[in-house]
Structure 1
Amino acid sequence: MTFAIEDLFIGNIARMQRIFTDEEVKICEKLTRDNSPVYNLNEDIWKNYYDQPIVPGLLAEGLINQVISEKLPGVACLLLQKELIFYLPVYVGDIITAELEIIDINVERNWVTQKVTCINQSGSEVIKGQVVIVIVTNQN
């Protein structure tokens, strides 16, 4: 379901779940050229900080963008601002649920502010923050 800004209201919530794979991490590394050894199973440096290699933050953020583009609002929009805190690492194989809740709407500017909460399969909050998007409209 897609929404026009007039259809949105404060308190709207959308959720999606995703399991991140090692293959996705490799593709993300290739596309972003972020070759940090903390993502690589063949390196040992991650063992100093984590239980296993982690999923790049940019890849984890992709789930947030997916909720925006597919569910809330589910229409063409641009990301204006994001403020995210990564409380815990996201590991390959984790089941991450991203929940976005509308907390402000500026109809004149077509801006929507959403609270972001991501939890893992254990119910631990891994990412929290907010995003501001502008809904792109056809102006003929």
Structure 2
Amino acid sequence: MSKVSKFYVGQSAEETITVTEKLIYETADFSGDYNPIHTSKDYAEKTRFKGRIAHSLVCEALTSKLIGMKLPGAGAVFITMSFVCTKPVFIGDEITATATIKAIDEERDILDMQVQCRNQRDEVVVECETRVLYLGPEEDYIKDEEYIN
């Protein structure tokens, strides 16, 4: 039996975060990207955005969390990802990512998925198309208790 047989086209899940100043600096520390559009209020206020914007990595990480932890969940591995930023994300924005299964390849255990990230004004800020290999749920494998907790 295919590992993806329990999923269906149109199935969806969502995850929400609030973008904070702390998150911006944690992302800068993690990525090494201290571009002043993210980190300097004085610089960013003089740009077309009129303020600091979040790294695209914030929405990419939210997408990774959604797919890796919810749909399809543990055992998901990205094969491809097309990621388009359509609007800036600002400090204070509440971003909701919604992942939807668009196609299922049961022979290869692959899901084609669409992810949209929207802000609290219901504006699309990111469009993502991704192909995901699904290895199966956690319980199919021996757990490394130190790692999984």
Is the structural similarity TM-score above 0.5?
yes
How big is each residue's C-alpha offset from its partner over 1:83-129, in whole Å with a ceiling of 9 and x where there is no partner? Answer: 12111001111011111100011112211111111110011111112
Equivalents in 2 of 1:79, 1:21: separation in Å? 27
One-letter amino acid matched to 1:131: T
Secondary structure class of the residue paired with 1:5: coil
Indicate the SS of the match to 1:28.
Answer: helix
Separation (CA, whole Å) in 2 of partners of 1:23 and 1:85:
24
Distance in 1 (CA, whole Å) between partners of 2:133 and 2:56 is: 23
TM-score normalised according to structure 1 size: 0.89
What is the aligned-residue RMSD (CA, Å)?
1.8
Paired residue secondary structure (1:93): coil
Instruction: Report the Cα offset of residue 51 of structure 1.
Output: 2.4
Letter of the structure 2 residue corresponding to residue 18 of structure 1: I
CA deviation after TM superposition for structure 1 residue 10, in Å: 0.5
1:129 counterpart SS class: strand
Matching of residue 85 in structure 1 with residue 84 in structure 2: yes
Q: Give the conservation status (yes or no) of the 8 Å contact 1:39–1:46.
A: no
**1:124 & 1:99 partners in 2: Cα distance?**
13
How far 1:65 moved relative to its partner?
1.1
- Alignment: residue pair count: 137
TM-score (norm 2): 0.84
- Runs of 4+ in structure 1 off by over 6 angstroms are none
Q: Which amino acid aligns with 1:72?
A: L
Q: Within the alignment, does 1:69 sit opposite 2:87 as a pair?
A: no
Q: How high is the sequence identity, in percent, across the aligned residues?
A: 23
Unaligned segments of structure 2, at least 5 residues: 142-149
Q: How many angstroms apart in 2 are the aligned matches of 1:64 and 1:100?
A: 8
The whole-number CA distance in structure 2 between the counterparts of 1:93 and 1:24 is 10
Task: Report the AA paired with residue 39 of structure 1.
Answer: H
